[in-house]
């Protein structure tokens, strides 16, 4: 399988719970490497542009408020099949439906406060990575 890059966000709920390291460790144990990472506090506008694909959905306002409610860790993960592997490690969007042992099953509280974001396709990953990181900020081991 090809080496891919994907964008991960450790959301405000998980940062507040002090489980950033625990979540990054899951990625590393599954064979993904951190190629870039930064703590940031998104503005409502930052979150709105990032999640623009959802702007017509009823949960858009709440999603943007939540994502700008506290600091997040934005990161680029790199490895074989990184996009699908990350989604698998994350688990279902609603933590009540997330498989046991997934990040959302173990760390998420609700469908809004669901601990992590992960790119859902190669096209999305490329756009999301470029939204947060310049070429010179991304490292390959």
- Which ranges in the chain belong to alpha helices (H)? 12-16, 20-29, 44-50, 60-67, 82-90, 103-107, 122-132
Which of 32, 83, 118, 132 is the binder for ligand RTP (CB under 6 A)? 118
User: Does 117 participate in binding ligand RTP (rule CB under 6 A)?
Assistant: yes
Which of 93, 96, 99, 130 is the binder for ligand RTP (CB under 6 A)? 93
User: Does 22 participate in binding ligand RTP (rule CB under 6 A)?
Assistant: no
SS3 for 46?
helix
**Rounded to an integer, what distance in angstroms lies between the CA atom of residue 65 and that of residue 69?**
6
- For the chain, the straight-line distance linking the first and the last C-alpha, in angstroms and rounded, comes to 18
Which of 30, 105, 111, 138 is the binder for ligand RTP (CB under 6 A)? 111
User: Stretches 25-33, 78-86, 113-121, 126-134: which one binds ligand RTP (CB under 6 A)?
Assistant: 113-121
Instruction: Tell me the sheet residues that pair with 5.
Output: 78
Instruction: Report CA-CA distances (Å) from 108 to 4, 60, 103, 131, 132.
Output: 26, 19, 7, 25, 24
Select the binding partner of residue 93 from ligand RTP, Mg ion, none (C-beta < 5 to 8 A, by kind): ligand RTP
- Contact string (CB under 5 A) for Mg ion, positions 114-133, x = contact: ------x-------------
- Which residue among the candidates 5, 11, 85, 117 is catalytic per the annotation? 117
Q: How far is the CB of 27 from ligand RTP (least distance, A)?
A: 14
Tell which residue, 86, 91, 85, has the closest CA to residue 103: 91
Which positions are catalytic? Answer: 117
């Amino acid at each position: 399988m090809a080496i891919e890059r994907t964008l991960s966000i450790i959301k405000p709920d998980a940062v507040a719970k002090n489980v950033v390291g625990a979540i990054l460790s899951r990625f590393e144990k599954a064979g993904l490497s951190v190629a870039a990472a930064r703590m940031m506090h998104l503005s409502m506008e930052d979150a709105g542009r990032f999640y623009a694909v959802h702007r017509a959905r009823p949960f858009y306002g709440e999603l943007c408020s939540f994502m700008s409610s506290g600091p997040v860790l934005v990161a680029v993960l790199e490895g074989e099949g990184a996009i699908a592997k990350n989604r698998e490690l994350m688990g279902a969007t609603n933590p009540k439906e997330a498989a046991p042992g997934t990040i959302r099953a173990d760390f998420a509280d609700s469908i809004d406060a669901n601990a992590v974001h992960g790119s859902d396709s190669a096209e999305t990953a490329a756009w999301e990575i470029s939204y947060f990181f310049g070429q010179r900020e991304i490292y390959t081991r």
